[in-house]
Amino acid sequence: MKICYEPIGVMHCELHNAHDAPRFYNCSRIKGMIEIYEPYVEGLDALCENEFIVVLFHFHLSKGFDLIQTSPAGKRKGVFSLCSPMRPNPIGMSILRLKKVQSPLVFVEHVDMVDGTPILDIKPYKPLEENLPE
């Protein structure tokens, strides 16, 4: 089975080298903006109601993968226990603070991807506590 995706947009930010990108979105101070392509712009309606968004993206600079890799702490671990960009399917996920939507641009903080990163999807981030039945 082959699965193909088309990007809905692209990240614009100050990071141009993958080695300069923060390891995780939750330790990033980088700001950026996602440019949404036509015909997806209408999908931004009401996105501004969220404080955070989940952004799925393609690790477009990733070249190959190993199932066992070395973690930033120097431990050997399986790729599925790491946030490494070198994965069987080079898909990344970040939770970004949404600052503003000015169609077709989405302004965000806590960016951990490089300029030019293809964006695959955007979803509202709903913390578990908000979704539990009382």
Taking the whole predicted model, whether its pTM rises above 0.85 is answered as: yes
Question: For residues 93 and 112, what is the distance between their CA atoms, to the nearest angstrom?
Answer: 10
Mean pLDDT, the chain, rounded, equals 91
Instruction: With H, G, I as helix, E, B as strand and everything else as coil, classify residue 122.
Output: strand
pLDDT band at 18 (very low <50, low <70, confident <90, very high): confident
pLDDT at res. 71: 87
pLDDT at res. 126: 87
The CATH topology of domain 9-62+90-127 is: Elongation Factor Tu (Ef-tu); domain 3 (2.40.30)
Task: Provide the residue ranges of all domains of the chain, joining segments of one domain with +.
Answer: 9-62+90-127
Give the model confidence (pLDDT) of 28-65 as tens digits: 789 999 999 999 999 999 999 999 999 999 999 999 99
Tokens linked to 84: 């490494």
Q: Are 73 and 39 in contact (CB under 8 A)?
A: no
Instruction: With H, G, I as helix, E, B as strand and everything else as coil, classify residue 69.
Output: strand
In whole angstroms, what separates CA 6 from the centre of its chain?
A: 15
pLDDT at res. 120: 98
